[in-house]
Amino acid sequence: MKTIAITLAATLALAGCAQSPDAITPVSMGNAFASVTCRQAQDDLSTERQSLATLSTQQTGAVIGDAIGVFMIGLPTSSLLGNDKGGLIAVSKGKILALETRLTSC
């Protein structure tokens, strides 16, 4: 019984951990940038790639923080403190894909 409780607690703790930036899937943006000029799309793509790089670095830190927190106290501390950037990364990846799609017609 004690083993089941420990296993359940560990599973719940790990479920709340921050995901690796590479494992985060993009949010679909559809044709959100269809009316943007080619020049603006190129500028936006460059800016968004820089933003994604920054967010990915922050997310990697959150993943490491969660791993340490789970190991030390059994809680994903980075995620609990709001350091998980998963949602922002998903949106950024979606923007990049949509902008790249827009640029194929330029």
Enclosing domain of residue 6: 2-103
pLDDT digits (tens, 9 = 90+) for 55-95: 999 999 998 888 888 888 888 877 777 789 999 999 999 99
Q: Does residue 25 register a pLDDT over 50?
A: yes
Q: Which of 53, 51, 35 is nearest to 98 (CA)?
A: 35
The pLDDT of residue 16 is: 66
Domains in the chain, number: 1
The pLDDT of residue 29 is: 94
Tell me how far apart the alpha carbons of residues 94 and 7 are, in angstroms, rounded to a whole number.
36
pLDDT digits (tens, 9 = 90+) for 26-53: 999 999 999 999 999 999 999 999 999 9
